[in-house]
Every structure is written in structure tokens, then in C-alpha cells.
Amino acid sequence: MKKLFVFFLFVSAHFFAQIKTQPQQDLARDPYFNTPQSGATAEKVKLIHSDFFQKTPDKYNGNPFFSGNVQFAHQGSVLTADEVIFYQDQNFVRALGNVRLQNADGSVITSGEMEYDGNTQKGIARKKVLLSDPGQTIQTETLYYDRLSNKAYFNTGGTITKDGNVMYTKSATYDLNSRMIDFTGNVKIDNPEYTVEGVNIIQNQNTNTATFNGPTTITNKKNPGNLIYTENGTYNMNSKEVYLKKNSRIHYNGKLLTGDDMYFNQITGFGTAKGNVTLRDPKENRYMKGGYAEIYEKKDSAMITDKPYAVKILEKDSMYFSADRILAFQKPDVQNPLEKKSFLRAYRKARMFKSNIQLRADSLSFNETDGVMHLLGSPIAWSGEKQVTGNKIEAYFDTKNEYIDSLRVIGDAFAISKADSLNMKDEFNQVKGKLMAVYYDKNEVKLAKVIGNAQAITYADDQNENTKEVERIGVSLSTCGTIEAEFEDRKVQIISCNIGANVDTYPMSLISREQRFFPDFNWNTKDRLRSWRDIFVDSPNYPEIKYESNNELYDAAQKAVDAQKAKEEAKKPKRVRK
């Protein structure tokens, strides 16, 4: 390739001394040749062979021409053609018909016509030009070559074929020294596996890498929905690795990954993104954000870290997730292998906010398809003025109607409900046991079933027949094997207490504040998520709500008892020591 258009014609002085070679008219040359000459004397061309030599006034403006097995040579390059016209004074040749240039580096150019200026060392090949270089071919209608800069280019459209890749472009410049090709104008690279389209692609033929400048798309032929877009990046065509630097997107399996700095391997399906990362999943109506992400196309999974969070958009509400690390993946349905189920997992400091329920745990796993969520590591759930804790919590959602269906608490289950959310008294209904199931009706807690060492502290109210106002009548302490507690109108009523049942109800005057709380009672208002933005912090650290102690009746009763005891003591006869 280094002597792509090098063909000089040198005719011996003895030969031309016998004929007149002066043209009758000046040669009309392409403006491409209009380059100032250097001070050095240009080397002349050399004739190797021709069957005929002619010079007629009515052909080629009277310039001499050679025909029949014509061959010229210069510095190891050999030009053959049906006919060659020589413009001796201008050191310029023009070859016509079946033109073939064999270069010393092994490259071959064939075309219908060729022109070469020995002074400027520039050449032009026209009409069905084909350049065959080791490992590749270039086809175009007009090819320009500058021997001094060792560059060739075309601007009439062309194709380049190499290693199964076919490149189409409006124009291209080929640097023979560096073996770099600069494609511009509607560039397309066609491969059995993918298609690359862009406005400016620079390809290194040595390393088989491409640099993208401007909007560029790489499309998977088997799955056109899987594509890569960037406005600045590099692509290794051997390893199928792409590095994306500006306004980039990776589309895979119906998902969309964006970020400031991205990488993707088309063979393994592994990709990364750094800085302002967003992973969108339209099918699941979910997007994830963070500072760093990894995707695994073949496993259909992704991981996001560096302050990650996820948002599942629902028609009536949305679910917000955060943790130190969030994973999203799909796997075949056991019942129907043709269908896939979607999962979301959050590890370390997992948080979930929804307007009607808020969750906090060390880790969280959510089956988005079935609406089942598992929480481990000191889980806690808030819903309205109710709180549920345990060793493990399973939350079940009605994905169709976007309701909470139920909670299942395993180990040290403890449910707390404000007895009256309209006041600030420290009165709380409490139910606890080994296992608990909490059932909702349109996002409101309606029933709790407790199994194993079931205990309850509930406040009992009644309506005053005269005033028609609800009055507190006492507190019930229940101990059973199983308990069913019904939640209605800010009240909790024990509707079932079985297996070793023991229920005692005390009026407010006969039960102390300490007796109205289980030893492990913890109404957590400091860590509760009150806004979706609270998912980003370890704890919102809200001020603890201060409740008013409701111990007046008991204190008054105790005071009366103490007074009565004092009276009785006073009535007793005093003992006199004799």
C-alpha cells in the first residue's frame, strides 16, 4: 500500500530523441494535482514494455501513447494497462483500460483509468476502482492518493471489506503509514452478528479497533432491540468490547442502561456504567439509579451500588427502595418456563417507602411478579399508626389493585397500634407471639392472628349511654396459645383466644402504666420513613414523639388506697409500753 499510486514513466533519452513528444495542447488536469512542487528534481518514469507506440495529431492532443501489454515501473511498483498516454514535459501519465497497479508491499489496485503526476506524487484512479490490500479490499468509483503524505481517500461513496466486515461510507481517508481509516458521512459497518452506523468512525486496521465521533449505533442482528448508542467511544472488533464516553446508552432485553462512562462486552454480555447511572425497565415500570452499575445480559441481571435506589412506578402510587447494593434479575417461572419472573434484592440497610407502608431491614428481597417481599435483619414495618417487628417479615402485595394484602411475621412477632391516633396519650394496643399473620383490607390493617405464646394488651372502650361519647373502661391482658385480634375504627378487639386462654380486664384505676407495656415494647418514631427521601439515610433521626402519661385514674386510686390505709392505721389502738 505504501506505493498505492506510484507509477512513473521513464523513457530513455535515446528513444525520445528520435520522436517529437511535445503535445499540441496543454493537459487539462484535475485540481487535485495543483500542488506547489518542491525544489528537488522529480524522478522520471521508466518504460518496461509495450507492443506499440503511436503519436497522431488527432488523438490525445498529439501526445504520444503506448498500447498492447503496456508496463511501467517505479521503485518496485508495476503498472499495466491497455493504453498509457505520456505527457513528458509535465512528467504526467494517464492509463486507460484494465488498469492494474502492483505495489511492492503486496497491494493491488485495479480500475478503468488512472492518472499520476510524477512531480507532485499524486494520483487518481477512476471507474470501478478496487484496492486489494492484505486482509481487505476497497471499492469505489474515484480514489485519490498522495504519495508524500502516504494517504488515499474517496468521496464518491465506497465499501471496504475486511475479516467478514463490510464498511459502507460516503467518504474515507486511509493513512497507509498508521493503517488508520477515517470514515465520514453515513458510515455503516456490516457484520454477520451486528451493524454499526455513525457519522464519523476512525478504524485502526492494525488493532481492528474503531473510534466513534458523533452519534453512533451498534445493533445486534439477532435481536435488534439489543443495541448500543454513543456519541464518543471506541470499539474492539476482535474482542467485541465497546467503551462509551458521551451520551451513551446500552439497550438489552427490553432494558436501558445509561451513565457517564460505560463498557460492554458483546460476547459475554457483561457491562458496566459509572457516574449518573440509570437502569430503566419499562416492562416492570421500574428504574434504578446510582453511581456504579454492572449488567449481565445473558443472565438478565443487574447490580447497582454507590448510593443506589430503585423506584417502581405504580398507577396510584410508587414504591421507593434503597440499600448499599441493589440487584435486579429475572428467572424462568417454575410453573411456566416460557414466562419469566422479576426480582429485586437490596442488601445492607434496605429501605422501602410507599405511602401506605414503610419498611426497614438489613436486607430485602422482592418478587415483583407475584408481589411477595421478604425482609431479614431486624425488620420493621409501619402502616398508618401501626408498627410490626419480628425476626423475619414477609409482605404480600396485590399487584393488580396495588394493595397490601398481608404480612407474615416469623419469630418474636410484635404488633403495636396506637389506641387512639387522635390524641397524644401513651396508650398502645399490643399483640405478640412466635408467629403472626396480619391481614389488610384496602391498605388498612383489619385482622392479626398470632400462634404460639400469644399475648395481648388491648384497651377496652364503651359508649356512654347518656353522653353518647366513647369512654375508656379498662385494659385487657390476654395470654393464649392463639389469638385473633380485630382492628376496626382505631380499636383492637380480641375476637378469639384459644388454648390455655387467660384474659383479665382491669379498669384504668387498677392497672399501672408499667403493666400496660410489654418489657420489649419499642414504638420507633425516630427511624420511621415519613418521606420517600428518607430512604437515602441510615436513619431520618426524627425527634422522638413525647406522649402524655395516662396514669391519672390509677394514681388517684392508689392515693385513695394509701389514704384509706392511713385511716385504718390511725384507728388502730396505739400500743403503750409499760
Asked if residue 572 has pLDDT above 80, the reply is no
Asked if residue 575 has pLDDT above 70, the reply is no
Residue 506, burial from CB neighbour count under 10 angstroms (0-12, 13-18, 19+) = middle
Q: Superfamily for 273-375?
A: Lipopolysaccharide (LPS) transport protein A like domain (2.60.450.10)
Asked if residue 5 has pLDDT above 60, the reply is no
| pLDDT, position 10 | 35
In the CATH scheme, what is the code of domain 378-522? Answer: 2.60.450.10
| pLDDT, position 469 | 76
User: Rounded to two decimals, what is the model's pTM?
Assistant: 0.79
How large is the average pLDDT for residues 389-393? 95
Any idea which residue has 407471639 for its cell? Answer: 433
Contact in structure between 123 and 129 (CB atoms under 8 Å): no
pLDDT tens profile 304-349: 999 999 999 988 889 999 999 999 998 888 888 788 889 999 999 9
Confidence of residue 16 (pLDDT cuts 50, 70, 90): very low
Confidence of residue 107 (pLDDT cuts 50, 70, 90): confident
570: left (phi over 0), alpha (psi -120 to 50) or beta: alpha
| pLDDT, position 21 | 43
Helical (H) or strand (E) element with 557 = helix 552-571
Question: Which of 153, 221, 158, 152 shows the shortest CA–CA distance to 190?
Answer: 221
> Residue-wise over 217-243: b if at least 16 C-beta within 10 A, else e?
bbbbeeeeebbbbbbbbbbbbeebbbb
User: 20: helix, coil or strand?
Assistant: coil
Helical (H) or strand (E) element with 132 = strand 122-133
Given this chain, do its domains 273-375 and 378-522 carry the same CATH topology? yes
User: 517: helix, coil or strand?
Assistant: coil
Q: CA dihedral defined by 301, 305, 308, 312, rounded to 10 degrees? A: 10
Contact in structure between 363 and 346 (CB atoms under 8 Å): yes
| pLDDT, position 17 | 38
How large is the average pLDDT for residues 95-111? 86
Confidence of residue 118 (pLDDT cuts 50, 70, 90): confident
The alpha carbon of 100 is separated from its chain's Cα centroid by a whole number of angstroms, namely 51
Residue 25, burial from CB neighbour count under 10 angstroms (0-12, 13-18, 19+) = exposed
Question: Which of 184, 186, 260, 271 shows the shortest CA–CA distance to 227?
Answer: 271
Asked if residue 386 has pLDDT above 50, the reply is yes
Least confident of 31-40, 384-393, 542-551: 31-40
Asked if residue 20 has pLDDT above 50, the reply is no
Count of Cβ atoms closer than 10 Å to residue 499 Cβ? 11
Report how far residue 290's alpha carbon sits from residue 267's, in angstroms, rounded to the nearest whole number: 26
Helical (H) or strand (E) element with 231 = strand 227-236
DSSP of 453-473, one letter per residue? EEEEEEEEEEE-TTT--EEEE
How large is the average pLDDT for residues 270-277? 95
Asked if residue 39 has pLDDT above 70, the reply is no
Asked if residue 257 has pLDDT above 50, the reply is yes
Confidence of residue 22 (pLDDT cuts 50, 70, 90): very low
Residue 107, burial from CB neighbour count under 10 angstroms (0-12, 13-18, 19+) = buried
Q: For the chain, first and last CA: distance in Å?
A: 138
CATH 2.60.450.10 fits 38-156, yes or no: yes
Asked if residue 9 has pLDDT above 70, the reply is no
Contact in structure between 129 and 145 (CB atoms under 8 Å): no
Report how far residue 512's alpha carbon sits from residue 475's, in angstroms, rounded to the nearest whole number: 10
How large is the average pLDDT for residues 462-487? 82
Question: Which of 550, 571, 569 shows the shortest CA–CA distance to 561?
Answer: 569
Contact in structure between 45 and 91 (CB atoms under 8 Å): yes
Confidence of residue 489 (pLDDT cuts 50, 70, 90): low
Asked if residue 1 has pLDDT above 80, the reply is no
Residue 85's DSSP bridge partners are 65, 94
Residue, of 84 and 445, whose pLDDT is higher: 84
| pLDDT, position 574 | 66
How large is the average pLDDT for residues 75-89? 85
Question: Which of 314, 313, 341 shows the shortest CA–CA distance to 328?
Answer: 341
Report how far residue 166's alpha carbon sits from residue 228's, in angstroms, rounded to the nearest whole number: 19
Listed by start position, the domains of the chain span 38-156, 273-375, 378-522
Confidence of residue 99 (pLDDT cuts 50, 70, 90): very high
Share the mean pLDDT of the chain.
85
| pLDDT, position 23 | 43
- The upper half-sphere exposure of residue 507, i.e. CA atoms within 13 Å in the direction of its Cβ, equals 10
How large is the average pLDDT for residues 8-35? 52
Asked if residue 244 has pLDDT above 80, the reply is yes
Q: Which three cell numbers stand for residue 129?
A: 476502482
Confidence of residue 576 (pLDDT cuts 50, 70, 90): low
Report how far residue 24's alpha carbon sits from residue 570's, in angstroms, rounded to the nearest whole number: 153
Question: Which of 203, 218, 288 shows the shortest CA–CA distance to 249?
Answer: 218
| pLDDT, position 61 | 80
Asked if residue 540 has pLDDT above 60, the reply is yes
Question: Which of 57, 52, 108, 104 shows the shortest CA–CA distance to 82?
Answer: 52
Report how far residue 112's alpha carbon sits from residue 95's, in angstroms, rounded to the nearest whole number: 8
Contact in structure between 307 and 326 (CB atoms under 8 Å): no
Asked if residue 4 has pLDDT above 50, the reply is no
Question: Which of 268, 274, 205, 220 shows the shortest CA–CA distance to 243?
Answer: 274
User: 145: helix, coil or strand?
Assistant: strand
Confidence of residue 548 (pLDDT cuts 50, 70, 90): confident
Q: Are strands 318-322 and 248-252 parallel, antiparallel or unpaired?
A: unpaired
Q: Which three cell numbers stand for residue 509?
A: 384505676
pLDDT tens profile 170-196: 999 988 788 889 998 889 988 888 899
How large is the average pLDDT for residues 378-396? 92
Query: 46: which residues sit within 8 A by CB, 6+ positions away?
Result: 8, 9, 10, 11, 72, 73, 74
Confidence of residue 12 (pLDDT cuts 50, 70, 90): very low
| pLDDT, position 552 | 73
Report how far residue 182's alpha carbon sits from residue 538's, in angstroms, rounded to the nearest whole number: 52
Report how far residue 177's alpha carbon sits from residue 147's, in angstroms, rounded to the nearest whole number: 11
| pLDDT, position 493 | 72
Asked if residue 120 has pLDDT above 90, the reply is no
| pLDDT, position 15 | 39
